[in-house]
Amino acid sequence: MAMASELLPKPATVDDVLREVSRIRTVISDAVDDGVRSALRAVDQGRDAAEDAIKDVKKAIHKNPLQSLGIVFAVGVVAGSLIAWMSSRR
């Protein structure tokens, strides 16, 4: 028959606690490293997408310079109108 002291869990030793702290530190460090790698990958993808968009805009401007000029003029008129409207409300 087993003794009662054999059935109860034994208290953790300092070595057990240090081993667990080390394991937790490793898990956290790995998670942070994964997060940093993911963030850097996202930045690279965003940069590539922005560069592609700029190239596409340059191509469109070279193909249709007059249409591009008209669009820029219209955007300027709208922006100017909004600014004038907002400043007149004050």
pTM here is 0.54
- For 23, the token pair is 């394991």
Give 69-89 pLDDT, tens digit per residue: 999 999 999 999 999 999 988
**Helices 65-88 and 14-63: angle between axes, nearest 10 degrees:** 110
Burial of 84 (0-12, 13-18, 19+ CB in 10 A): exposed
Q: What is the largest CA-CA distance in the chain?
A: 97
Q: Among positive and negative, which fits the CA dihedral 44, 45, 50, 56?
A: positive
Mean pLDDT, residues 44-57: 97
